[in-house]
Amino acid sequence: MRFRIFTLTCATLFLAMPVFPYGALGHETVGAIADMKLAGTPTGAQVTKLLNGITLSRASVLADEIKGWDRLPKGQPKPILLKDHPQLQEQLVAFWEANPPTKAKGSDAPTHKEFHYTDVPAVDGGKYVKGNLGTEPYDIVQMIPFCVRVLSGAEPETNARKITKPIALILLAHYVGDIHQPLHVGNAYFSSAGNLVNPTKGGKSFPDHGGNGFNIILSDAQTSKKDSKADSKSGGKSSGKKSSKSKGTNLHSFWDSDAVEAALKHVDTQIEKQPNHKGKATDEEVIAWFANSEPTDWKPAAKSQPTEWAQAWANEIIPMSTQAHERLEFSNVTIKNESASGDATEKKMPDGISYLEWSGLRTEEELHKAGWRLAAIIEASLESKKPTAPKTKSTQ
Ligand SMILES: [Zn+2]
C-alpha cells in the first residue's frame, strides 16, 4: 500500500513528525474528510483560526503523538510536535501536564491515555451507562462532550483539564475517530479460567482492554506484512500462521491499522473501476469519495444536543464490537495484572466473509461516518457559541 499524506497543505510539518504509534492513517482520513466538508464554510474559517492553520487531518494524530512524551525522563523538555505553532505546542504541553500519564499520589487528575476509550462489556446488547462496569468519569464518552462544551463556551477554557478551544478541536479530531473503532468502545471479558463471560452476570471477570493482549491469527494467511516481519524477526521459527507477540499483530492494532488499510484499498478499487478513470486512485480522490457522498445513518437524532452524540455513537458501535469478538475463537487465555491476553483465531463464518474483508467493510463505513460526524460536531459546537437570535413569536 502506498504511503498516504493527507496533510498536503502542511507537508513540511508532516515530514518533521515522529513515527506514529499506530492508527494514524485512520485518524488522518477522518480528519481529512472533515477538512474537505468544512472547507469554505464559516466553521472551516473558525477552525483554521483556532488551529493557526493546522488542518484537522494533522491535528487528528496529536493526541496519540503526545503519548511519546510519557516515556521521557522527568523535566526533559518535550520534543516539538508543532514547529511553527509555539502557542499550540505550549497548550499541548499544559494539557499533558494537567493529565499526566501516571497518577501522582493524592492527585485525582486523570491520565490523558484513558480519554481515548471506554470498556463497555460487548455482550448481550450491552449499552453505555455512565457509572456502570467499564465506564470511567473521564472516558471517551465523557471527554467528547467536555470538548464540545469548551468549544461552545459552556465550559471555561481555564478548566482543570487544561483543554482550551484549540486543544478541544485537536482532541475532538482524534476522539471522534477513536469512538468509531469498535474495540475502543466494546470489550470482551474473560473468567479466571479464560472463558468469555458476561461480566454483568456476576463472578470475577477480566477485560481484554480493547484486544491489546491478543494475537490475531487469520485463517487465510492474509495477516498483515507486519506479521511476516515479526515472523522473520523470530528467526523463522514461526510456522507462518501463528504470529509472534509483537506490537502490530495484536487484535487492537489490527483494527487500528490493517482494517483501515483494507477499507481504503476497497475505496481505491471502487474509484479505479469508474468508467474513464485512469491510473491509481489518489489520496484526494479517496477523501472526496467519502466527503461527497452522504453515509447512511450518520445523522444525529433530531433535536439531540452535540453533547449527547458520543453516547449515541458508542451505543451504535457496541454490536459491531460484539461481532468483532464473535468472529474469533479465543485460546491460551491468561490473566495477568487484572487483564486477559492470549490468541484470537479467525472463525469460519456462515457468511463466508473473511475477518479481514469483514473488518475492512465495517471500517470503511465507520471512517465515512466519523468524517461527517467530526465536521458536524465541530459545526454544532461552534455554532451554539453564536448569540441566539431574539425570540420571535413561535409559529408552532
Ligand atoms: Zn486514540
Structure confidence by residue, pLDDT tens digits, 190-235: 998 888 899 988 889 998 889 999 999 998 654 444 443 333 333 3
User: CA angle 182-179-346, nearest 5°?
Assistant: 15
Q: What pLDDT shows up at residue 45?
A: 97
Q: How far is the CA of 254 from the centre of ligand 1 (A)?
A: 14
Q: How far is the CA of 326 from the centre of ligand 1 (A)?
A: 24
Q: What pLDDT shows up at residue 384?
A: 60
Q: What share of the chain in percent tops pLDDT 70?
A: 84
Q: What pLDDT shows up at residue 220?
A: 65
> How many Cα neighbours within 13 Å face the side chain of 325?
31
Cell numbers that stand for 240 in this block: 507462518
Residue given cell 464473535 in the structure block = 326
Cell numbers that stand for 222 in this block: 492474509
Q: What pLDDT shows up at residue 339?
A: 87
Question: Cα dihedral sign for 344, 211, 5, 264?
Answer: positive
* 356 band by pLDDT with thresholds 50, 70 and 90: very high
Cα distance between residue 284 and residue 301, in whole Å? 30
Q: What pLDDT shows up at residue 279?
A: 95
Cα distance between residue 218 and residue 73, in whole Å? 39
Q: How far is the CA of 225 from the centre of ligand 1 (A)?
A: 23
Q: How far is the CA of 200 from the centre of ligand 1 (A)?
A: 26
Residue ranges and CATH numbers for the domains of the chain are: 19-102+110-383 (1.10.575.10)
Average pLDDT along the chain = 86
Q: How far is the CA of 116 from the centre of ligand 1 (A)?
A: 5
Question: What letters, b where the CB count within 10 A reaches 16 and e where it falls short, cover 347-386?
Answer: eeeeeeebbbebbbebbbbbbbbbbbbbbbbbbbbbebee
Cα distance between residue 195 and residue 254, in whole Å? 22
Cell numbers that stand for 262 in this block: 483494507
Q: Residue 191: which of 211, 210, 206, 208 has the closest Cα?
A: 206
* Among 14-18, 216-220, 299-303, 363-367, the least confident range: 14-18
Query: Strands, E, within the chain: which ranges?
Result: 120-121, 186-187, 189-190, 196-197, 206-207, 214-217, 328-336, 339-346
* 75 band by pLDDT with thresholds 50, 70 and 90: confident
Q: What pLDDT shows up at residue 202?
A: 82
Three-class SS state of 200: helix
Res 353 pLDDT > 80: yes
Res 395 pLDDT > 50: no
Q: How far is the CA of 174 from the centre of ligand 1 (A)?
A: 6
Strand partners, 216: 344
Q: What pLDDT shows up at residue 68?
A: 94
Res 246 pLDDT > 60: no
Q: How far is the CA of 166 from the centre of ligand 1 (A)?
A: 18
What does the pLDDT average to over 354-380? 98
Cβ distance 171 to 147 under 8 Å?
A: yes
Q: How far is the CA of 59 from the centre of ligand 1 (A)?
A: 12
What does the pLDDT average to over 174-179? 98
Res 290 pLDDT > 50: yes
- Number of Cβ within 10 Å of residue 88's Cβ equals 22
Please give the radius of gyration of the chain, using alpha carbons only, rounded to the nearest integer.
21
Cβ distance 370 to 56 under 8 Å?
A: no
Residues with CB under 5 A from ligand 1 (ion): 116, 178
* Among 3-7, 106-110, 192-196, the least confident range: 3-7
Residue given cell 463497555 in the structure block = 120
Cα distance between residue 271 and residue 281, in whole Å? 6
Q: Residue 189: which of 203, 206, 204 has the closest Cα?
A: 206
Res 93 pLDDT > 80: yes
Three-class SS state of 316: helix
Cα distance between residue 56 and residue 51, in whole Å? 8
Helix (H) or strand (E) holding 361: helix 355-383
Q: What pLDDT shows up at residue 345?
A: 95
List, for residues 119-143, the tens digit of each pLDDT value: 999 987 889 999 999 999 999 999 9
Q: What pLDDT shows up at residue 338?
A: 87
pTM of the model: 0.86
What does the pLDDT average to over 239-244? 33
Cα distance between residue 283 and residue 11, in whole Å? 14
Q: Residue 4: which of 178, 293, 257, 179 has the closest Cα?
A: 257
Q: What pLDDT shows up at residue 170?
A: 98
Q: How far is the CA of 372 from the centre of ligand 1 (A)?
A: 18
Cell numbers that stand for 317 in this block: 458501535
To the nearest 10 degrees (0 to 180), the angle between helices 283-291 and 24-38 is 60
Res 4 pLDDT > 60: no
* 393 band by pLDDT with thresholds 50, 70 and 90: very low
- Measured in residues, the chain has a length of 396
Res 5 pLDDT > 60: no
List, for residues 29-59, the tens digit of each pLDDT value: 999 999 999 999 999 999 999 999 999 999 9
* Among 58-72, 329-343, 354-368, 375-389, the least confident range: 375-389
Q: How far is the CA of 275 from the centre of ligand 1 (A)?
A: 38
Q: How far is the CA of 305 from the centre of ligand 1 (A)?
A: 24
Cα distance between residue 214 and residue 382, in whole Å? 40
Cell numbers that stand for 162 in this block: 487544561
